[in-house]
Amino acid sequence: MSYLFDPEVLARIARGALGRPLEIMIEQIAAELEHEYPGHIRDDREWVLNNAGGAMGMMTVLHASITEYVIIFGTPIGTEGHSGRFWAEDYFYILEGEQWAYSETSPVKEVYRPGDLHVLPRGVAQGYRMPDRCFALEYARGFIPAMLPFGVADTLFGTLDWRTFGRTLGKYGASSVKELLQGKV
């Protein structure tokens, strides 16, 4: 499977935006991504709530397709939950705050701070916590539709927040169709 986005380019862009207010970081990241990947970055920066794996956060979608997504994900107040176990790799570039994680194979707490990259390999699950305000540039590559049940299950069977459900599927669907029309899966 070929991918459009390069994790090293994303790391460079994320690190280059550090130390600024979140809104400015997001606009800088989006502008640089649009320069690197013209026509593949969303214009809007609307936030959508996200409940998944017991954690609640918020996201703004920069890119979504069948094989990749790029979002800003985080929380202004902290959260914790299950990462999910996917047929996709997940790259989490910390922009501000701190993320803690642990795996089923080790009782050691991993700590990720601004500029750090937390990679969740395909098929691996972790517990994670953002103890306070934390935002990251998140990039996933693999078969993204298989991630959707995890991404909406808490909303469907817990919060019953139909507006968030509709906005999540609407943004993912519209972005994916746009990418398919450009020849990108």
Please report, for the chain, the start and end positions of each structural domain, with discontinuous segments joined by +: 7-180
| Contacts (Cβ under 8 Å, ≥6 apart) of 41 | 30, 33, 34, 62, 63, 70
Cβ–Cβ < 8 Å for 128, 55: yes
Biggest distance spanned by C-alpha atoms of the chain: 46
pLDDT at residue number 2: 84
**pLDDT tens for the chain, residues 1 to 185:** 689 999 999 999 999 999 999 999 999 999 999 999 999 999 999 999 999 999 999 999 999 999 999 999 999 999 999 999 999 999 999 999 999 999 999 999 999 999 999 999 999 999 999 999 999 999 999 999 999 999 999 999 999 999 999 999 999 999 999 999 998 88
Topology of the domain covering 7-180: Jelly Rolls (2.60.120)
Up-side HSE of residue 144: CA atoms within 13 Å toward CB?
Answer: 19
> Would you state the pLDDT for residue 179?
95
Collapse the DSSP code of 46 into the 3-class scheme (helix H, G, I; strand E, B; otherwise coil) and give the result: coil
Model pLDDT, residue 79: 98
Rounded to an integer, what is the distance from CA 12 to the centroid of its chain?
17
pTM (global) more than 0.85: yes
